[in-house]
Amino acid sequence: MGLQLTDSITVARGVLQDTDSTNYRYSSADLLLYANDALDAMTLLAPHLFYTDGDVTCIADSALQTISFDDALSLVKVRRIKNGNAVVQADPETLDAFDSSWQEATSAAAVNWFPVANDPMRFMVYPPATTGQILEVVYVRIPSEYALTDDTGLPTTYKDAVADYIVYRAESRDDEHVNSNRAAQFLASFQQKVKGA
C-alpha cells in the first residue's frame, strides 16, 4: 500500500497543534485539498514519481504529433513503435542542416523523435508518421484528486514531505494564527524533502 493522505494530515495536525477533533481550526476538507495540492507541486520537483506509459496513435503523414491523454502534464520520451523498433531522440537542428525538407519526406516508420520547444505536449517524428503508427511514450501524469484513505501509489516515505506542504498552506492562511516565517520554513522543508528523496 502506498501513501495515504490521511497519514500526512495526521502529522500536519500534530505540527499545527490542531488535534482536538471536536474543535478543529482547519477543516479536514481544507487539509485534504492542501495534501492534493502537494502532489501537484511534486510533479514539478520530482516528475519521475508520476511517470506513466501510454500509446499515441500518430497523425498520418505528419511530423508533428501530440500527446492528448486527459491526465498528461508533459511528454518525457518516445520509447518505440508499438511492438517494434526503438525511436531515438535526436537534434532537430542537425536534421534541418542535413535535410531541410525532412518534414515533407515520405511517410515511414519513425526513426527519430524531437521535443517541440516550449510545448510539453507536442513532439515531432522523422520520418513523418505512417497511417496507423502507434508510439509507446512515457509522460508525466497529473495526479488524481485523492480521498483521505485512497492509495496514491507514492512511497510512504513522502508522508512527512506532504505534511510539510499542508503546514505551509495552513500557516499561509490570513488569520491571527499565521506565522509567515514558519510557513516559508515548511515550504522549504517540503521542497528539500521531495528533491532529496
Q: What is the pLDDT of residues 113-124, one digit of tens each?
A: 999 999 999 999
Average pLDDT over residues 164-176: 85
Counting Cα atoms < 13 Å in the Cβ hemisphere of 69 gives: 20
Q: Which residues contact 171 (CB under 8 A, 6 or more apart)?
A: 16, 177, 178, 179, 180, 182, 183, 186
Over range 57-80, report the average pLDDT: 96
Is residue 177 pLDDT above 80, yes or no?
A: no
Average pLDDT over residues 67-71: 94
How far, in Å, CA of 56 to CA of 124, rounded? 12
pLDDT of 152 reads: 97
* pTM of structure: 0.87
Instruction: Give the pLDDT confidence score for residue 175 in this predicted structure.
Output: 59
Tell me: pLDDT of 96 over 90. Answer: no
